């Protein structure tokens, strides 16, 4: 298989993968006494990344103003295994837990770069839900939240 680096509207060959040798720069290249299939990216030509860079992009960079992503989470009563918002009565700090939050945080940890975020409950000043799920998702459109994490569904009227 030829490995192609797509650059703009074109592409350039950076190497090949063969069943016998693994990754190689040239199709007729013999294995360099590796003893096993080569899976080293060093056995490929240099990759050109977006912006004509030759180093792997770091991804999302923290803005110089230190702005965190504001992630809206639903405030609900009843079934709270997916998302639960509680407030520590002593410190008045908010704790957001549940399966959806665990999943979101696992994805964040798996990214090859850091993302600074804050989980923000969609609630009124007295701690009650500030609206329904349509209202919560609409906050992303309004720019109040950068994203929503929770037991939400993508519907036509929310896209």
- Tell me: do 85 and 23 sit in the same domain: no
Can you give the pLDDT at residue 60? 45
- Tell me: do 140 and 80 sit in the same domain: yes
- How far is C-alpha 23 from the geometric centre of its chain's CA atoms? 28
Instruction: Please give the average per-residue pLDDT across 62-90, as a whole number.
Output: 83
Tally the C-alpha atoms within 13 A of residue 137's C-alpha that lie toward its C-beta. 13
Which burial class, exposed, middle or buried, applies to 31 when counting CB atoms under 10 A from its CB (0-12, 13-18, 19+)? middle
Domain of 37, in residue numbers: 2-43
Quote the CA–CA distance of 125 and 111 in Å, as a whole number. Answer: 34
Instruction: Please give the average per-residue pLDDT across 43-65, as a whole number.
Output: 67
Higher pLDDT, 53 or 104: 104
Check: pTM over 0.75? Answer yes or no.
Answer: no
Can you give the pLDDT at residue 94? 92
Asked if residue 106 belongs to a domain, the reply is yes
How many structural domains are present in the chain? Answer: 2
Asked if residue 34 belongs to a domain, the reply is yes
Quote the CA–CA distance of 158 and 106 in Å, as a whole number. Answer: 25
What are the start-end ranges of the H helices in the chain? Answer: 99-110, 133-142
């Amino acid at each position: 298989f030829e490995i192609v680096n797509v650059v703009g509207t074109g592409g350039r060959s950076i190497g090949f993968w063969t069943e016998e040798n693994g990754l190689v720069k040239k199709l007729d290249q013999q294995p360099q006494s590796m003893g096993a299939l080569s899976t080293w990216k060093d056995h490929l030509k240099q990759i050109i990344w977006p912006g004509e860079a030759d180093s792997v992009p770091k991804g999302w960079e923290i803005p110089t103003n230190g702005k965190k992503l504001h992630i809206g989470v639903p405030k609900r009563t009843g079934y709270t295994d997916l998302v639960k918002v509680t407030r520590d009565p002593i410190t008045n700090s908010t704790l957001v837990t549940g399966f959806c939050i665990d999943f979101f945080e696992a994805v964040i940890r798996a990214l090859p770069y850091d993302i600074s975020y804050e989980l923000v409950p969609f609630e009124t000043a007295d701690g009650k839900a500030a609206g329904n799920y349509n209202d919560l998702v609409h906050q992303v459109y309004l720019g109040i939240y950068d994203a929503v994490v929770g037991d939400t569904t993508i519907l036509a009227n929310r896209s």
